[in-house]
């Protein structure tokens, strides 16, 4: 295995606490559609993969790991008609109004340490690119990243390889020189399709260890706070 020189992170559930960040805006969006079309907000959330009884998510469910386009299509089907421009804009406004809740308190220190050690850092999300950049700006973390892309950036969507390959191209790396870190099977399969040297699953998001291991995780960690030590241990092995 070549030496790892770049790390490509997912955003939601990996750098951000998923439920604290996304449950409030998803609920607002579903309540808007309930008022507009009469369908239950709870049903819309359930169709998106939310399990209300314990506030968990079905593996690879649209709200947990899909793009805005996929969510609009799903909810359009649920209300019985494609969502129009006005509805989509209102939903996008709902999605934009949320608290950026880091998955760990010392996230900035973790990213800064990886940067000091010479790793190129990238962010690839199924959210829109503007949302990813807004999050990094809000957390004061933008300077740590060499590359940022979203589902609308023109590199395809997960689990396709395009986002990871675009990160490699932007940073002068090969697939075998990067690690992909994410909370979703789609993240790990993207890494596999791009030939990533290491696929790291984290349990801070919407998927459990069984789902991550089934998707081919090389490592499963509690959260990104354990990443640096895990990389050191793997280098010594």
**Each residue of 164-208: pLDDT tens digit?**
999 999 999 999 999 999 999 999 999 999 999 999 999 998 889
Domain residues for the domain of 197 are: 6-16+101-236
Reported as a pLDDT band with limits 50, 70 and 90, residue 235 is: confident
Residue 10 sits in the same domain as residue 119: yes
Same domain flag for 135 and 220: yes
Q: CA-to-CA distance for 188 and 181, rounded, in angstroms? A: 7
- Give the pLDDT confidence of 127-157 residue by residue, as tens digits: 999 989 999 999 999 999 999 999 999 999 9
- Determine if the peptide bond prior to 159 is cis (ω within 30°): yes
What share of the chain in percent tops pLDDT 90?
87
Confidence (pTM): 0.89
Across 25-50, average pLDDT: 97
Q: Do residue 58 and residue 167 come from a single domain? A: no
CB 24 within 8 A of CB 33: no
Residue reference for tokens 């309930």: 34
Contacts 24+ apart (CB under 8 A), 87-94: 87/33, 87/36, 90/29, 90/32, 91/29, 91/32, 91/33, 92/68, 94/25, 94/26, 94/28, 94/29, 94/32
Indicate if 174 and 155 belong to the same structural domain: yes
Q: Are residues 109 and 58 in the same domain?
A: no
143 and 225 together in one domain? yes
State the pLDDT at residue 6: 98
Average pLDDT over residues 207-221: 94
How would residue 65 be classed by pLDDT, with cut points 50, 70 and 90?
confident
Task: Give the separation between CA 72 and CA 187, rounded to whole angstroms.
Answer: 21
Cα 161 to Cα 195: distance, rounded to the nearest angstrom: 9
Res 97: pLDDT: 85
Judgement on whether residues 118 and 214 belong to the same structural domain of the protein: yes
> By three-state DSSP, how is residue 49 classified?
coil
The structure tokens listed for 23 are 């449950």
Residues 25 and 118 in one domain: no
Q: What local confidence, expressed as pLDDT, does residue 236 receive?
A: 82
pLDDT of residue 151: 94
Please tell me the total count of domains within the chain. Answer: 2
Whether 1 is covered by a domain: the verdict is no
| CB-side neighbour CA atoms (13 Å) of 5 | 13
183 and 220 share a domain? yes
- Are 161 and 194 spatial neighbours (Cβ–Cβ below 8 Å)? yes
């Amino acid at each position: 295995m070549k030496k790892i020189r770049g790390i490509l992170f997912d955003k939601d559930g990996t750098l951000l606490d998923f439920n604290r960040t996304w449950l409030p805006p998803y609920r607002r969006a579903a309540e808007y559609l309930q008022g507009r079309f009469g369908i239950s907000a709870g049903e819309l959330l359930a169709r998106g993969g939310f399990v209300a009884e314990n506030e968990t998510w079905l593996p690879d469910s649209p709200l947990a790991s899909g793009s805005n386009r996929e969510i609009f299509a799903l909810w359009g089907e649920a209300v019985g008609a494609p969502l129009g421009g006005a509805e989509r804009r209102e939903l996008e406004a709902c999605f934009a109004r949320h608290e950026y809740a880091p998955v760990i308190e010392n996230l900035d220190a973790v990213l800064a340490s990886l940067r000091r050690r010479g790793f190129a850092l990238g962010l690839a999300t199924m959210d829109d690119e503007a949302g990813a950049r807004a999050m990094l700006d809000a957390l004061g973390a933008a300077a740590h990243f060499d590359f940022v892309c979203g589902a609308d950036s023109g590199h395809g969507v997960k689990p396709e390889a395009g986002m990871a390959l675009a990160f490699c191209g932007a940073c002068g790396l090969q697939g075998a020189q990067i690690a992909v870190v994410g909370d979703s099977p789609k993240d790990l399969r993207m890494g596999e399709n791009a030939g990533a040297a290491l696929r790291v699953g984290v349990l801070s998001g919407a998927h459990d260890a069984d789902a991550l291991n089934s998707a081919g995780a090389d490592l499963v960690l509690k959260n990104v706070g354990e990443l640096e030590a895990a990389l050191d241990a793997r280098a010594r092995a």
